[in-house]
Amino acid sequence: MTDVVRVIRQSQGTEDSISLKQQRNNTRELAEELGADSLDTIDLGNTSGFSLFYKDSDDNGRLDAQPEVQELISGLRAGKWNYLIAHDDTRIARDEYFSVIQHAALVGGCELRFVSDVPDDRLTFRIQRVVEAETKAKEIEKSKAAVEHRRERGYYHGTPPFGLEFDSEGEYLVKDMDEWPIIERVFELRERGLSYRNISDEIGTISKSGVGNIIRENRELYLTRLDANHPAVSSAD
């Protein structure tokens, strides 16, 4: 029996171009080449590749804090699999935690195989991991600084809700004139006492939950942009 386990993971950063679907396909092909009789999957989705080596101990987003990774380590040590495969080594870890997994695999007699080549030279590997870790840390800091910059200036942060869009500078929310008539209609019908379901049926292009999001979740964003003579504005006053 040839038992194989694969790790599927995509970095949370936008620079990561190896899609989860692509990883599932190419690791399945590699497993077949290895003659796998069974294929287990550790699918981490969009997860940070850094462990306690680079993150705070109370950060639950750490790679080594993931239950699936802990199960992987236990299984490797117990000799559950013949091969551990991934698209490349960075799918497994982007810092020294890779050596933890390597050691667990060594204890359990599991061989690591990758779809893409990884550095054989240990110094090259070490340098590559350090550079990637520092680059990732800088990206995170830049992202945090950008978010704080927007908040300090009162810019909207996040995806614009239905009926609104960013202005030409990408800073403030303005009416999306293609969708805004629906917003006005939703509040008009609500003022007439219609239920969310009835409003959805009346308009026909928005779901019941969508109506709820407009009336409850983003109410203030809409009310401040409705014309002063709109019934929802006058009743709020």
Would you say the C-alpha torsion 127, 128, 131, 132 has a positive or negative sign? negative
Higher pLDDT, 123 or 161: 161
**Measured between alpha carbons, how far is 193 from 205 in angstroms, rounded to an integer?**
19
pLDDT at 171: 83
Which pLDDT score is estimated for 234? 65
Residue with more model confidence, 90 or 18? 90
Distance separating alpha carbons of residues 183 and 231, to the nearest angstrom: 13
DSSP H helices, the chain, are 20-33, 67-77, 89-92, 97-108, 122-152, 180-191, 196-203, 208-212, 219-223, 231-236
Regarding beta strands 173-175 and 111-114, do their DSSP bridges make them parallel or antiparallel, or are they unpaired?
A: unpaired
Per-residue confidence (pLDDT) for residue 15, from 0 to 100: 46
User: What are the Cα distances from residue 50, in Å, to 24, 80, 98, 144?
Assistant: 21, 25, 10, 17
- Token representation of residue 75: 């299984």
Return the pLDDT at 25.
92
Per residue in 117-152, pLDDT (tens digit) is 765 555 455 556 566 666 666 766 776 776 677 777
Q: Summarize the confidence of residues 160-170 as an average pLDDT.
A: 87
pTM assigned to the model: 0.52
The pLDDT value recorded for residue 226 is 85
Mean pLDDT of 6-12: 84
